[in-house]
Amino acid sequence: MSIDWNWGIFLQAAPFGNTTYLGWIWSGLQVTVALSVCAWIIAFAVGSIFGILRTVPNRFLSGLGTCYVEMFRNVPLIVQFFAWYLVVPELLPQSIGMWFKAELDPNIQFFVSSMVCLGLFTAARVCEQVCAGIQSLPRGQKAAVLAMGLTLPQTYRYVLLPNAYRIIVPSLTSEMLNLVKNSAIASTIGLVDMAAQANKLLDYSAHAYESFTAITLAYVAINAIIMLIMQVVEKKTRLPGNMGSK
């Protein structure tokens, strides 16, 4: 079967929006990058907190961290997207829920719901990475720091977390890449990201091969940039004697 490629389609004027089809893809790329960055900030912060909780000597706190991980990791991501967009606003106080549903711009609704959902879902995975990184450190390290007079929060802040993060840079990189790929699911609730723009281009131009080849290359480019940046971070933060050090 021969494919009639027509890359010039991207330079043709789109039926609306006062732009070209390439402009649609570019707009979707910006939304995808913004969503990924915002969701990663949430994932890293929340995942770090619960990762710490899973390692503290307190059954309630460690159990809380375990419940968080199990709840978010065992529910399909697409179900979580719809839950955050359709169900959670109904559970909020009426004034806040009505403001979100009736007064907020729909595009902002889609973005906020997607950002929170993707961030908290990825946080459950980051939590496991942080927990594993802390547990991989020599037990004597924590005991020695506590013996020097530091409190438990200071021990985590100044010693355990900095060393754990250095160890788990490769696994955090993998989670970043997964987050970017998972962001495409946000199009199912209405977010006009790169995947949604490709579908829209297909609907109006009937050029499926070009549209989805373009966004495939865009996703590859985004993840390639992330990998290059994280390789630099890994080299800069690597400590002699740690896993993977040279």
Q: What is the pLDDT of residues 94-146, one digit of tens each?
A: 999 899 988 899 999 999 999 999 999 999 999 999 999 999 988 888 888 88
The pLDDT value recorded for residue 2 is: 62
| CB half-sphere exposure, 73, CA atoms < 13 A | 13
Query: What pLDDT shows up at residue 241?
Result: 61
CB 210 within 8 A of CB 10: yes
Mean pLDDT of 203-212: 87
What is the structure's pLDDT at 165? 94
The Cβ of residue 125 has, within 10 Å, a number of other Cβ atoms equal to 20
pLDDT band at 246 (very low <50, low <70, confident <90, very high): very low
E strand or H helix that includes residue 25 = helix 21-53
Residue whose C-alpha is closest to residue 89's, from 99, 75, 103: 99
Structure tokens at 176: 């970043």
Q: Which pLDDT score, from 0 to 100, does residue 244 have?
A: 47
Kindly report, residue by residue over 34-75, the tens digit of the pLDDT: 999 999 999 999 999 999 999 998 999 999 999 999 999 999
- Percent with pLDDT over 90 in the chain: 70
Beta carbons within 8 Å of 208's beta carbon, 6+ residues apart: 202
Q: Coil, strand or helix: which one is 27?
A: helix
At 36 the three-state DSSP class reads: helix
Distant-in-sequence, close-in-space partners of 58: CB < 8 Å, separation ≥ 6: none
Sign of CA dihedral 8, 19, 27, 101: negative
Least confident range of 2-11, 24-33, 49-58: 2-11
143-170 average pLDDT score: 91
Mean pLDDT of 192-203: 90
